[in-house]
């Protein structure tokens, strides 16, 4: 009867744009996971002994967890059991070892990145974005390396960092997310194949936004990347990651780990635009995005800010968090998460206040459409020593249509009576009335929905600028 409802449905059913498959020759290890797989991955990457040992320790820990059925079950998501032996843990486009320039890159891969609109080519230098692109599991090109090197900034693939800067990797790897942290973090530590590494030395402000682009191309593979960013004293860096994947009927696992470390007076801003393949309209296929992201404000006056726009993945399980250890350190989390069709998202943050006068801000906007289920899960913890700590939390939900859901699970734990906590929450719905009103003024149904959604998200932006 009502076409406004149909319109909402149509919008909810828009096709995934990035679902193509690139035809490149790939090299992959057989499916399955055991100590030999780990040794094989480590050998392929010609890793030093300490890495192999760390991986093996992680694998053994994970194997215990798996035996004990310790895969986390507390999240508000549903999926059939994952067969971890039915996944290939390493897939890489075949290529000559050691690329010297982009010209040596498989042109098919370059075309893929062009299709995705990633400024990978050197001529896009004016865009001022340095890109490290991870195709399946391997980092294929890092642009602007030379320019950054002049400032002493290291921006390279994780594999390269292991080879060239083992002392930094050894010092910081696992220092924020240890391999014992959780089931997926253990798995990642065991099998991660590549990722990005950033080190910004003392007093250096990184002059351009650093960016990584992740793409899962191969079928029946998992992508396990690991990112480590260190901002030394007084340094600052802004980092952006984007993700897409082809359309496939089976689910694919993505279990990444991101660790950020900010020393005295350092600042890290980490932004994510996550658009992994979400599955089709019936909920078939799509990426399981089980990710552990955490930053540690180790130094005084340091600041870590997470911004995420989550629109893809069949399932998102992700809590970019801040450990506020240094006095006066600041943690921020700004999130817009959209679930559509049969997507499920359980996402939020943890703010752990350890140091004095630490401050945190959480603004979460969840939008649910179709049969989408969107859960905000957040924890704010004020420890005993965190005198004068403050937190502001705002989480808002917007529902589009009749069959979606929004859920909120805020946990607040305060052990210091000087703490100041604020929590605001709201739930609203795009009504047929609102749509009709905007359409009566000449806006198409699509523009009307996007205006309402923009208005909803802008409230997050206003909050950010007001603070």
Partner 1 sequence: MVSVSLLEIKNLHVNVDNHEILKGIDLTVNAGEVHSIMGPNGSGKSTLAQVLARREAYNITAGEIWLDGKDLLAMKPEEAACEGLFLAFQYPVEISGISNAYFLRSALNAIRKYRGLDEMDAMDFLPLYREKLKLLEMDEKLMNRSVNEGFSGGEKKRNEILQMAILEPKLAVLDETDSGLDIDALRIVAKGIEATRSPKRAMVVVTHYQRLLNYIVPDFVHVLLDGRIVRSGGPELALELEEKGYSTMETANATPA
Taking the C-alpha atoms of residue 113 and residue 135, their distance in angstroms, rounded to an integer, is 9
- The span of 112-120, 270-278, 346-354, 426-434 binding partner 1 (CB under 8 A) equals 426-434
* Distance from C-alpha of 268 to C-alpha of 261, rounded to nearest angstrom: 8
- Minimal distance in Å, beta carbon 424 to partner 1? 14
Q: Is 444 in the site for partner 1 (CB under 8 A)?
A: yes
Nearer to partner 1, 416 or 427 (CB): 427
**Coil vs helix vs strand at 380:** strand
CA-angle at 324, arms to 332 and 189, nearest 5°: 90
Please report whether residue 102 would count as binding partner 1 according to CB under 8 A. Answer: no
In the complex with partner 1, the residue whose CB is nearer, 411 or 437, is 437
Q: Which residues contact 203 (CB under 8 A, 6 or more apart)?
A: 232, 233, 234, 235
Backbone angles phi, psi at 393, to 5 degrees: -125, 135
Q: Of the two residues 409 and 436, which places its CB atom closer to partner 1 in the complex?
A: 436
Report, in Å, the least distance between residue 400 CB and partner 1.
14
- Contact (CB, 8 A) for 149 and 186: no
User: CB of 4: closest distance to partner 1 in angstroms?
Assistant: 6
443 binds partner 1 (CB under 8 A): yes
Q: Which two tokens stand for residue 32?
A: 């399955």
- Minimum CB distance to partner 1, residue 364 (Å): 15
Give min distance, CB of 429 to partner 1, in A.
12
Measured distance CA(149)–CA(151) in Å, rounded:
5
The reply on whether position 317 binds partner 1 by CB under 8 A is no
**73, 442, 465, 466: which one binds partner 1 (CB under 8 A):** 442
Residue 50 lies near partner 1 (rule: CB under 8 A): no
Which range of residues in 22-30, 31-39, 50-58, 428-436 is near partner 1 by CB under 8 A? 428-436
- Provide the token pair at 275: 């658009």
| Shortest Å distance, C-beta 397 to partner 1 | 13
Site for partner 1 in 277-316 (CB under 8 A): none
- x/- track of binding to partner 1 for residues 382-421 (CB under 8 A): ----------------------------------------
Least distance (Å) between residue 343 CB and partner 1: 23
Among 14, 64, 151, 437, binds partner 1 (CB under 8 A): 437
Joined together, the tokens standing for residue 320 give 């970019």
Q: How far is 174 from 350, CA to CA, in rounded Å?
A: 18
Site mask, partner 1, residues 4-43, x = CB under 8 A? x---------------------------------------
Integer Cα distance of 241 and 235 in angstroms: 20
Closest Cα partner for 77 from 317, 358, 286? 317
Minimum Å gap between C-beta 1 and partner 1 is 7
Which residues does residue 259 pair with via DSSP β-bridges, in sequence order? Answer: 228, 294
CA 301 to mean position of chain CA atoms: 25
Rounded CA gap, 250 and 417, in Å? 50
- CA gap 263, 329 in Å, rounded: 10
Interface pick for partner 1 out of 101, 282, 440, 465 (rule CB under 8 A): 440
Smallest separation (angstroms) from partner 1 to the CB of 271: 21
As measured in angstroms, the least distance from the Cβ of 410 to partner 1 is 22
Question: Does position 3 bind partner 1 by CB under 8 A?
Answer: yes
User: Which of 69, 433, 465, 466: binder of partner 1 (CB under 8 A)?
Assistant: 433
> Minimal distance in Å, beta carbon 135 to partner 1?
38
Q: What is the DSSP string of 199-252?
A: EE-TTPBPSSEEEEEEE--STTB-B-BEEEEEE-TT-EEEEEEEEE----SSEE
- The candidate with the shortest Cα–Cα distance to 159, out of 239, 68, 41, 246, is 41
From the list 55-63, 378-386, 400-408, 447-455, the region that binds partner 1 by CB under 8 A is 447-455
Query: Would you count residue 454 as binding partner 1 (CB under 8 A)?
Result: yes
Stretch that binds partner 1, among 78-86, 154-162, 294-302, 425-433 (CB under 8 A): 425-433
363 part of the interface to partner 1, by CB under 8 A: no
Q: Is 257 helix (H, G, I), strand (E, B) or coil?
A: strand
What does each C-alpha distance from 38 to 123, 162, 187 come to in angstroms?
Answer: 39, 16, 11
| Sign of the alpha-carbon torsion through 187, 190, 191, 196 | positive
Choosing from 459, 464, 466, 467, the residue that interacts with partner 1 (CB under 8 A) is 459
Neighbours of 254 (CB within 10 A): 25
By CB under 8 A, name the binding residues for partner 1. 1-4, 428, 431-434, 436-445, 447, 451-452, 454-459, 462
């Amino acid at each position: 009867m009502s076409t406004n409802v149909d319109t909402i449905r149509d919008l909810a059913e828009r096709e995934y744009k990035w679902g193509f498959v690139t035809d490149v020759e790939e090299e992959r290890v057989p499916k399955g996971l055991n100590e030999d797989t780990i040794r094989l991955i480590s050998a392929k990457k010609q890793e030093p002994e300490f890495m192999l040992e760390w991986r093996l320790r992680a694998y053994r820990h994970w194997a215990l967890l798996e035996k004990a059925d310790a895969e986390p079950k507390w999240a508000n998501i549903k999926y059939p059991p994952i067969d971890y032996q039915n996944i290939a843990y390493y897939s890489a486009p075949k290529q000559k070892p050691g690329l010297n320039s982009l010209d040596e890159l498989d042109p098919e891969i370059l075309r893929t990145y062009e299709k995705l609109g990633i400024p990978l080519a050197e001529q896009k230098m004016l865009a001022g974005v340095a890109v490290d692109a991870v195709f399946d599991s391997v980092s294929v090109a890092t642009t602007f390396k030379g320019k950054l090197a002049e400032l002493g900034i290291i921006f390279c693939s994780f594999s390269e960092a292991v080879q060239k800067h083992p002392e930094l990797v050894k010092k910081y790897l696992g220092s924020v997310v240890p391999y014992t942290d959780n089931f997926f973090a253990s798995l990642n530590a065991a099998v991660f194949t590549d990722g990005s590494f950033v080190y910004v030395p003392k007093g250096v402000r990184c002059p351009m936004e650093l960016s990584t682009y992740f793409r899962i191309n191969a079928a029946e593979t998992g992508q396990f990347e690991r990112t480590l960013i260190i901002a030394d004293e007084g340094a600052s860096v802004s980092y952006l990651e984007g993700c897409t994947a082809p359309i496939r009927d089976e689910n694919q696992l993505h279990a990444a780990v991101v660790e950020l470390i900010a020393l005295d007076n350092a600042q890290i801003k980490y932004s994510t635009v996550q658009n992994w393949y979400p599955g089709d309209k019936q909920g078939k296929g799509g990426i399981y995005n089980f990710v552990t992201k955490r930053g540690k404000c180790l130094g005084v006056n340091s600041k870590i800010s997470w911004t995420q726009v989550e629109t893809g993945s069949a399932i998102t399980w992700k809590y970019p968090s801040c450990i506020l250890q240094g006095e006066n350190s600041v943690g921020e989390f700004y999130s817009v998460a959209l679930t559509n069709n049969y997507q499920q998202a359980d996402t939020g943050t943890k703010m752990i206040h350890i140091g004095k006068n630490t401050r945190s801000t959480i603004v979460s906007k969840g939008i649910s459409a179709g049969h989408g289920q969107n859960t905000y899960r957040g924890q704010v913890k004020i420890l005993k020593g965190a005198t004068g700590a403050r937190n502001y939390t705002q989480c808002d939900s917007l529902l589009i249509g009749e069959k979606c859901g929004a859920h909120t699970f805020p946990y607040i734990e305060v052990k210091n009576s000087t703490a100041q906590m604020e929590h605001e929450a709201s739930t609203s719905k795009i009504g047929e009335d609102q749509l009709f009103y905007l359409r009566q003024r000449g806006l198409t149904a699509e523009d009307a929905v996007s205006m309402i959604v923009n208005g909803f998200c802008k409230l997050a932006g206003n909050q950010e600028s007001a603070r």
